[in-house]
Chains A and B, each alone.
Chain A
């Protein structure tokens, strides 16, 4: 099983600042990585797929990078609506499974 490890668990950021979230895979997943945003009481929303491609309608302040085992999600200038929990997901190891990281909560500093 590929284990996805996200860091930090919680990130305290002021509005307008940059946020950098990390995701590490226990073995290479190539570029088969996605990022999701989840707000309280809502279903997750796809942000990034293929490690760096923004999903439809996602603002340009969200960017993804990395390949292999190390990945980063950057939010260039945090807006109030960006405070949420972010998850990475690998989909390289199919069949038989996909796996999620444990999440990073981005909170207001």
Chain B
């Protein structure tokens, strides 16, 4: 069974940093691209970032470009999101999602259950 388990969320002050992790199991991790998608409380889905199987293709939403960095460690079956200069508007549930392909585009299936990030003083 494919499983994605996010961790690393929490309460953080504006301007500070946080690193999210996503532990993957049940599939060959380095055969697939991976993504982060977030959902602010009561709002819709917002794609944040994606990374191809070998980290050769990476993309970011304009809202996080220059502040967030996506990475992966295929040896550890793990995906990461380094979030710097956090703002109140980054408050959201952050989901990790598996792409259907090695390239970073595509549809997402499955999704993890998410980790909550709250940015507040």
Q: A1-B62, A43-B111, A49-B107 are in contact. Are A98 and B100 (CB under 8 A)?
A: no
Residue of A nearest to B49 (CB): A97
In the bound complex, residues from chain B placing their C-beta under 8 Å from that of A36 are 45, 108
Interface size class, chain B: 20 to 34
Among candidates A43, A85, A92, A102, residue contacting B113 with C-beta atoms closer than 8 Å: A43
In the bound complex, residues from chain B placing their C-beta under 8 Å from that of A99 are 47
Is A34 at the interface (CB under 8 A from chain B)? Answer: yes
The answer on a CB contact under 8 Å between B107 and A43 is: no
Top 3 A-B pairs, shortest CB-CB distance: A94-B105, A96-B59, A34-B107
Query: Could you list some 22 contacts between A and B, CB below 8 A?
Result: A1-B62, A32-B105, A34-B108, A38-B45, A43-B95, A43-B114, A44-B37, A44-B95, A46-B108, A55-B109, A94-B50, A94-B59, A94-B103, A94-B104, A94-B105, A95-B104, A96-B60, A98-B47, A100-B44, A100-B45, A100-B46, A102-B44
